Amino acid sequence: MSKWDDRYRSEAPPTQPSKLLVEFCSLLPTGGRALDVAAGGGRHSVYLAQHGLATTAVDLSREGLERGRELARQEHVHVDWVVADLEQFEIPSSQFDVITCFFYRDPALYPRLSAALRPGGLIFYETYTREPLAFSNSPRNPEHLAARQELLRTFRALEVIFYREVWKSRGVASLVARRPQRGVACLRRQAAVETGFCEPYMAQTFTPSSRSAVPFRPRFEPSWTIRLKAF
């Protein structure tokens, strides 16, 4: 029994999907396979299943997944629920059209998630950052917190559709990216700019204390660099 089992027994998990996933739901394919890692109470798994994806949810907490199973029953969708430690769980390569990971950080998992995407597959990743440790309600263990632009650097081989880091009560980094289709990566990048998924400006970050701009120069073409915003 994990501490997360106790937590899910004592408090109900959220049932609504992340705003990030909802905001970019138009990118979701109408079919295919989805993987929700660190699925918790299953809110994202159910949302993906509602969009027609054959969804597998993986989490260490059996109690959390039981909550997800009940949510799926209420929403009349099917999800495959897998109780497993993600450090040991084998993720097959090039098998998923969508992967979601929310508020779980394990750098050893990053390359496995990239490899699990099919060409054209999407990843939605959101997690806490180390920047706002001064906030009282932020997680305190640095092992659970991403460094500045960690997700952006880690998934640089993918086509970044959206990236943002914010400091508001808690620091959060948000990423939406796509594994390139063979031979059409440049076209995809240009399309992302033209459709407004990326803002074609030099990126900037802001420190919570001084609010002063710190230039950030990602390894991307100037036509599709991303502006990071602080609120």
Range of the domain at 63: 3-200
Q: Which helix (H) or strand (E) holds 100?
A: strand 96-102
User: Do residues 11 and 64 touch, judged by C-beta distance below 8 A?
Assistant: no
The 3-state DSSP class for residue 109 equals helix
CATH number at residue 126: 3.40.50.150
How many domains in the chain?
1
Q: Is the dihedral of CA 58, 62, 67, 69 positive or negative?
A: positive
Does 217 map to a domain? no
Q: Is residue 210 in some structural domain? A: no
Kindly state whether residue 220 falls inside one of the protein's structural domains. no
Residue 140 belongs to some domain of the structure: yes
Q: Which one-letter DSSP state was computed for residue 16?
A: S
Q: Pairing relation of β-strands 170-178 and 159-168?
A: antiparallel
pLDDT digits (tens, 9 = 90+) for 20-71: 999 999 999 999 999 999 999 999 999 999 999 999 999 988 889 999 999 9
Angular region, 223: left φ>0, alpha ψ -120 to 50, beta rest: alpha
Tens of pLDDT, residue by residue over 104-114, are 888 889 999 99
